[in-house]
Amino acid sequence: MTRAPLIAAVFPGQGSQSAGMLAPWQGDRLVVDTMTEASDALGLDLWQLSEAGDAAALALTINTQPLMVAVSAALWRAWRQRCTRRIAFAAGHSVGELGALVAAQSLSLSDAMRIARRRALAMSAAVAEGTGTMAAVLGLDDATVQQLCTRCAEDGVLEPVNYNAPGQVVVAGHVSAIERLKSAARDAGAKMVFMLPVSGPFHSSLMQPAASALAMALDMIDVRPPALPVLHNSSMAVATAASIKPELVAQLTSPVRWTETVNRMTAAGASHVLEVGPGEVLTGLCRRIAPRITAWPLATPQGMDAAARALG
C-alpha cells in the first residue's frame, strides 16, 4: 500500500498582499462570509480594502496584517471544504503564524483579527518614523550577513531578522546602519541589497515596546490546544496552549527562521506544502529551500482545485 504523503500548510505574512487578490473568490460564499466575519471583528470592510483600496492603504501595516490573517482564514476554510486530508504540520511566516493558529483552532478568527490589529499598531508605534527599516540581502550565507550586521551596527542596532532561504536574509535596524550594510554587503559579494517598503525594523530588538504591548493584548484572550502541530517562528517548538502567548510575543523581537522551519518539516517526512493565503511567496521559498518538495499555492480557486485533485 502506498503511503499517504505528509502535508504541511504554510501561511504567508505581510508582503504577499496585492490589490484585487480576492477577486477570483467573489462567487465563493464561504470565502465571502469568512471575510465578513473578520471585518465585523474590526469594524473594517476588509473585502473593500482588498479590492478597491489604493496601494498605499493596502500597504499600511495596520491594514495589511489583519487583512493577511483574514484572507488566510478564508482560504483555509475553502480548502477544508474541498479536501480533508490530514495536515502534518502548519507554520506561518511572521504574522502568518496567527493564520496558522486559526487553522489549528487555537485562536478564534475574531480574536486573531483583534490581535493582528493590536500587533500592527504596536509595531508601527514602536520606533519613530524614519528611524528604522528593513533590507533584503541576496547572495550571501547566513554567517556572513550576521558578521556584517555586527560590523555595520556601530552604535546602533542592525540584526538578521528573516532567514527566508539559502542566500536570502532580511535585516532590520537603524536606517544609518543599513546604509553602511548596503555598501559592505556589496563589497562582500552580495548579488543585491534592497530596502523593503515597511514602516519599521520588524523582528529586531527595536520592537521591544511592541512586544510589551502585544503581551498585554494577549492577556485578554483565551487560547485552546492546537488541533494540528504548529511550529513557532522564534523557537521552532511545536505549539501548545501554554506556549502560544509567550511565543507570539517573542516573535516580535526574534528572527523568522523560515529555512529551518521548512527543513524541519521535510526532515520529518513532509513532501507536499500548501500555501494558504494570497500570492506565491512561500511557495517559491519552499521550493528553493527543499527543491524536491511539491508546493501548491492556494491563492485561486483553480490552484486550490488542482491541489485537491492531486491530493485526493
Positions marked catalytic:
94, 203
Helix residue ranges per DSSP H, the chain:
29-42, 46-52, 55-59, 61-82, 96-103, 109-125, 142-153, 175-187, 208-218, 244-251, 258-267, 281-289, 301-311
Cα 252 from chain centroid (whole Å): 12
* DSSP track, 21-43: TTGGGTT-HHHHHHHHHHHHHHT
Spatial CA neighbour of 58 closest among 11, 116, 89, 16: 16
Contact 207, 200 (CB under 8 A): yes
Rounded Cα–Cα distance for residues 216 and 234 (Å): 19
